[in-house]
Amino acid sequence: MANTKSAEKAARQSSAHRKRNDALTSQLRSAIRKATLAVKAGEHAAAAAALAAATPIIDSMVNKRIIHRNTAARHKSRLTKQVRALAK
């Protein structure tokens, strides 16, 4: 339980931020999952489209400080590598 006005406000802010961050994280995971499933299905066109849709979402999460930039780079790199492997 918060003892001061400022602690009460911090608790409210924390709750609001957590809800927002959970929603954004879910959006990020969904985008990555769609691309991964398309790769596993072996559909190059669908995988490329899913990657193109996921890339700006991943970048957006970095700007909002939901994930670290190196994590975003790793996700994008691995997905791109998998999609390019399908083309061969």
Identify the domain containing residue 47 by its residue range. Answer: 5-87
d(CA 43, CA 19): 34
Contact between 39 and 54 under an 8 Å Cβ cutoff? The reply is no
* Alpha carbon separation from 83 to 39, 52, 61 (Å, rounded): 6, 11, 22
Tally of domains within the chain: 1
Q: What is the pLDDT of residue 88?
A: 78
**What's the pTM value of the predicted model, to 2 decimals?**
0.88
Condensed to tens digits (0 to 9), the pLDDT of residues 2-61 reads 899 999 999 999 999 999 999 999 999 999 999 999 999 999 999 999 999 999 999 999
CATH number at residue 30: 1.20.58.110
CB count in 10 Å sphere of residue 60:
15
